[in-house]
Structure 1
């Protein structure tokens, strides 16, 4: 069995890590990785292949960030060339990026079986490009690997259970990764204080100067003499900050700005944090994996089960709401006792199903 795996962005490298290692255990399964190049910053790409021992991509398309339509079209053109050359049995895509959609469309047009890892997620906000990508990818996939029962429920409401598709609840592949890689040693980050809130901000709708100022003002006020906010700067956020004349390190004395970190370092930062404030999808779950409460600076989340169980609170972007919602979050008195995202054996289940469904 030959599988082509499409990767392009940081979360996909993390998801692919344990699954690629699981695939490697089978002598009768070959995996060929295509890296679209969607994330091309060294700390957002190469570091994951090096630190996490992911097999190096056989094909690197080097298609960097651009307008959505242009980027997706360029990816499709180059992926199709590779697929016609390699003739895989399966194309495997992860999540909801432009790389995901490009790989899915190529698979559909060339009539190659398509498997979608992290299927069934919905934010119910069609203005988000990720929502469009995940809906379209689900619709043309042959096997939908769902991370939770909530994801299956979304597909059921949309009629997927009556379609000629295989819908499987396999758990969350990122839970596998968190369990496995949290045992690996990480590099020490010298500037990180002993007590801190971990924050990441990178979504396009939040990385405009006006919103960043509100977010940073809020984070600065949540920090103090005994608790700082540690914020690894995403390349998009860094580029926006570079267009202003503000010295952010001076203006926001309670925020410790650091460079983007590798996955192992991020796991260590999560494990030792007081809590998490983010607009990331993946970090919401990683906070839960390590029993940390999370404030999400978005109006919607794909991980609604975390909100329903009180582990996550959504907040609009205004200072009063962010501070009040954080206080509400930290008054949570429940327990992290639910196995929402499976048992940590997602990778093994996926490979067995792919072999069975071929």
Structure 2
């Protein structure tokens, strides 16, 4: 823990999806002369992966690590709250800034709101309208108690207004995850190097230089054998036509093993890798023919890269990637999955465009609005 000092903004991260969003915000706050400190709740508790992400993304080392670790949703949320409160008392900020929709987001926002400290939510207004998703509950509740809400696309305002949130609290600034992507694009690790590091010969695996990327980790996809087995069987068939690179999430690995499905990944063109760092994943995605995923962030990243995306979910909180981008939603329906893949192979897949304000400058817009809100001199309000 570094030397704690009073600051204007406490920025909070808790899990891997947050890391990719906080870097541009911290840089922009620093450039604007706004004093900020970073608190890592430790919700993502893999120390090696934490170090990797902070190094890859040039994120400043956290001033505080609460080291909460994994547990049930209720226990983890409560533990973050109890450990965050004394830190907040000591730092005495004017506001906290939370990103995304993980348990740490709502936990820290609740503590701040109950203490009369301002709450700023980056990536507000995203809705899947599926309350079975814990992230959806976190999103809705965090938005309700936030003083400043920063959105990634215009339609998020409609979602928020339907929930009674005043328009003047909401600011459309763009997508900080795309800031990170554009900032690091020339540092991406080439896909061949990533395969070679895993002991796989790229020219043998994908002799034509064409491959797809597969990620799978959501409980709705991997926790029930009756859903996971047909998915894996279909993906194994797809891999016969297009080799797939599969960075394997620990949760998915455990489920494949416990359901006796590991053999579906053998003797087919699926390169199973350990969880990849950000720069490795960026390199894999940018040169892929397609990305098949149940990740929310990768739907956005593929749209920004112009890479076709087939999303293995029944719904998405990022509809702009479907309306404007390269994303196709197929759910658990293996026939829809095969149809989307056939279209890709025959016609090149869905073409899209980059949404407005996904230009690499969201962090600067956020810092300008925060500076204005705090009454700091020289702040410039973003418009949109």
Calculate the TM-score normalised by the size of structure 1.
0.93
Structure 1 CA distance for aligned equivalents of residues 11 and 257 of structure 2: 35
Residue of structure 2 in register with 1:303 after alignment: 318
8 Å Cα contact 2:344-2:350 kept in structure 1: no
Higher mean C-alpha displacement, 43-52 vs 85-94: 43-52
Structure 2 CA distance for aligned equivalents of residues 333 and 242 of structure 1: 32
Structure 2 CA distance for aligned equivalents of residues 144 and 42 of structure 1: 31
Residue of structure 2 in register with 1:215 after alignment: 231
8 Å Cα contact 2:304-2:358 kept in structure 1: no
| 2:369 is aligned with 1:353 | yes
Structure 2 CA distance for aligned equivalents of residues 132 and 252 of structure 1: 41
CA shift in 2, pair 1:296/1:337, >3 Å: closer
CA shift in 2, pair 1:210/1:21, >3 Å: same
8 Å Cα contact 1:217-1:252 kept in structure 2: no
| 2:336 is aligned with 1:321 | yes
2:14 to 8, 27, 50: 8
Deviations 1:56-109 (A, max 9, x none): 111111111211111100001111111011101110000111011101101111
Gap regions ≥5 residues in structure 1? none
Task: State the Cα distance separating 1:153 from its structure 2 match.
Answer: 1.9
Deviations 1:330-350 (A, max 9, x none): 646765334344322100011
Structure 1 CA distance for aligned equivalents of residues 171 and 218 of structure 2: 30
CA shift in 2, pair 1:333/1:258, >3 Å: closer
Residue of structure 2 in register with 1:178 after alignment: 181
Q: What secondary structure, in the 3-state scheme, does the structure 1 residue paired with 2:219 have?
A: coil
Task: State the Cα distance separating 1:45 from its structure 2 match.
Answer: 2.2
Task: State the Cα distance separating 1:152 from its structure 2 match.
Answer: 1.4
- Number of residue pairs matched by the alignment: 354
Gap regions ≥5 residues in structure 2? 1-6, 375-384
1:145 to 145, 150, 153: 150
Residue of structure 1 in register with 2:169 after alignment: 166
CA shift in 2, pair 1:252/1:129, >3 Å: farther
Deviations 1:24-51 (A, max 9, x none): 324x422211111111224542211012
8 Å Cα contact 1:313-1:329 kept in structure 2: no
Structure 2 CA distance for aligned equivalents of residues 31 and 324 of structure 1: 49
1:113 to 99, 112, 118: 118
8 Å Cα contact 1:294-1:329 kept in structure 2: no
8 Å Cα contact 1:143-1:167 kept in structure 2: yes
| 2:278 is aligned with 1:254 | no
More helix by share: 2
| 2:220 is aligned with 1:205 | yes
Residue of structure 1 in register with 2:382 after alignment: none
Structure 2 CA distance for aligned equivalents of residues 334 and 299 of structure 1: 18
| Alignment of structure 1 residues 34-45 onto 2, 5 Å | 34-42=39-47, 44-45=49-50
8 Å Cα contact 1:216-1:252 kept in structure 2: no
Structure 2 CA distance for aligned equivalents of residues 66 and 150 of structure 1: 34
Structure 2 CA distance for aligned equivalents of residues 329 and 107 of structure 1: 47
CA shift in 2, pair 1:334/1:277, >3 Å: closer
Structure 2 CA distance for aligned equivalents of residues 334 and 128 of structure 1: 27
Task: State the Cα distance separating 1:309 from its structure 2 match.
Answer: 3.4
8 Å Cα contact 2:247-2:273 kept in structure 1: yes
Structure 1 CA distance for aligned equivalents of residues 170 and 217 of structure 2: 31
Structure 1 CA distance for aligned equivalents of residues 235 and 330 of structure 2: 13
Q: What secondary structure, in the 3-state scheme, does the structure 2 residue paired with 1:92 have?
A: strand
